[in-house]
Amino acid sequence: MTSTQHPALLEELRRITGPAHVLCDGDLSAYTQDWRKRAQGKALAVVRPASVDEVAAIVKACAAAGVSLVPQGGNTGLAVGSVPDESGTQVVLSLQRMNAVRAMDAANLTITVEAGCILQSLQEAAEKAGFLFPLSLAAEGSCTIGGNLATNAGGTQVLRYGNARDLCLGLEVVTAQGEIWHGLSGLRKDNTGYDLRDLFVGSEGTLGIITAATLKLYPQPAARLTAWAAVPSMEAAVTLLGLAHRHLGAGLTGFEVMGQFALSLVNKHFPQLRVPFFEAVAASAGPPQARPAPSGGSEPHVVGSVGAPYCVLLENSDHESEAHAREQFERLLETALEDGCVSDAVVAENLAQAHQLWHIRESIPLAQAEEGLNIKHDISIAVSRIPEFVEATDALLRQNIAGVRLVNFGHLGDGNLHYNVQAPEGGDARAFLRDREEEVNTLVYDSVAHFDGSISAEHGVGSLKTDKLEIYKSPVALSMMHAIKGALDPLNIMNPGRIVKL
């Protein structure tokens, strides 16, 4: 039994939070298994503090006992960064009970919340006060803002509002020494020394524990319109992005690209979603038409009615009116049709249609899961180089792995692709992953490195990519990261083994 280890520490933890909030027995898998079920760890205890003072006391107690801590929010991370290892010697520090909205400052356009606040609750609190908190991602119903900041989460609104980092004006942090840094500034300018805030943001709990944050709010846009455009190539998608920046300015809040094969999976597994430009395929009785595979991962037998290798979802947020947003959108799409970088387009007539289009985009991972096991990547490349990257990497994978199926989609506006690899049709997907995942990853990441990209655009490193980081990150950068980790957490008790190996 884990609970027989470190009895004095457990006693101290019970004293700090009350015994009800130190969990040692029973099914703790909600805390010890990661979201994608890639790892099942074992905790000495799960501690659920209610205040920053309790967090500080817990860290001090663990430091004194030489026991390491794994901070955890909603445990929805995709890089296995917030569950304990298998040793049974780590304490999971769950921030879930610290979920208050501490303050709302309308004139300063800021909100201060505790780390355990669910992202969706935060969005709703902002909306209730007439503001927008723009961070938005698939897990928003269960992820917490603390986790979003610790992993510098991205999502669908980065193009306009930036990553989680860019939305944060201040932090409250418990250091590895159990000290409290009261850095909850609502200041937009503060040049009094090193940028500690941005150091903790994205550090995945390895330098300290974020317990609260002051975040930026924006006025709610008067209208949000969504369009769906078929484009003849990835180059055309990049051209469309440039046009959209010029026509919509800061109104451009979303620009998502989706490969034909990715959409065909949605069309296959969720036909009720009615993927635009797929109706003809769905209706056709005969076998689909075979034609050469266009660049970008579409399968020859699932080409849609317009034959476009990619579709793009665009969002225009307007501070004026829906009519103005529609006029702007129509002008953009007309120009794009004339230019030839769009072959067909629809603009959602109402909010329901807009939600439906986003729902299609968001259903790609689910459709992939329905299709079977697959290998996921979260990469970024300079936008200008993405067409060349995709063409080269598609070819490389096809050449090396017979029957490989490429599910390519993502936030093109940010240069971020979820360049996923589905096992060959009809084969044993489990065996494919077991035998080929490492090879696929190496092919993809080598190509990413060749194009000066990143192997983790928005999901972080966790424990999943530490080995890869040692290969693909510059030794100079790695050495600075080691120095910083050593300086701020000399006992190596804060989420050890994540991001950097010491």
Can residue 138 be called a binding residue for its own copies (CB under 8 A)?
Answer: no
Taking the least distance from each CB to its own copies, the nearer of 369 and 480 is 480
Taking the least distance from each CB to its own copies, the nearer of 77 and 294 is 77
In the complex, the smallest distance separating the C-beta of residue 95 from its own copies, rounded to whole angstroms, is 19
Can residue 233 be called a binding residue for its own copies (CB under 8 A)?
Answer: no
Taking the least distance from each CB to its own copies, the nearer of 419 and 432 is 419
From 69, 115, 347, 499, residue interacting with its own copies (rule: CB under 8 A): 499
Q: Cα torsion for 356, 460, 383, 231, to the nearest 10°?
A: -20
From 70, 111, 113, 158, residue interacting with its own copies (rule: CB under 8 A): 158
With 0-12 / 13-18 / 19 or more C-beta atoms within 10 angstroms meaning exposed / middle / buried, residue 168 is buried
From 8, 30, 64, 250, residue interacting with its own copies (rule: CB under 8 A): 250
DSSP symbols for 89-121: -EEEEE-TT---EEEEETTTTEEEEETT-BHHH
From 30, 64, 106, 395, residue interacting with its own copies (rule: CB under 8 A): 106
Taking the least distance from each CB to its own copies, the nearer of 265 and 342 is 342
In single-letter form, the type of residue at position 143 comes to C
In single-letter form, the type of residue at position 350 comes to N
Which region among 17-25, 34-42, 345-353, 472-480 touches its own copies (by CB under 8 A)? Answer: 472-480
Site for its own copies in 207-226 (CB under 8 A): 207, 219, 221
Please give the Cα distance from 248 to 320 (Å, whole number): 13
Which region among 8-16, 264-272, 294-302, 315-323 touches its own copies (by CB under 8 A)? Answer: 315-323
Q: Is the dihedral of CA 274, 368, 361, 113 positive or negative?
A: positive
Please give the Cα distance from 90 to 215 (Å, whole number): 31
Taking CB atoms within 8 Å and a gap of at least 24, the contacts of 264-268 are: 264/298, 264/299, 264/302, 264/304, 265/364, 265/367, 265/368, 265/370, 265/371, 265/407, 265/422, 266/360, 266/363, 266/364, 266/367, 267/302, 267/304, 268/302, 268/367, 268/371
Site for its own copies in 426-465 (CB under 8 A): 452-461, 465
Can residue 339 be called a binding residue for its own copies (CB under 8 A)?
Answer: no
Can residue 183 be called a binding residue for its own copies (CB under 8 A)?
Answer: yes
Can residue 477 be called a binding residue for its own copies (CB under 8 A)?
Answer: yes
Can residue 110 be called a binding residue for its own copies (CB under 8 A)?
Answer: yes
Site for its own copies in 353-392 (CB under 8 A): 380-385
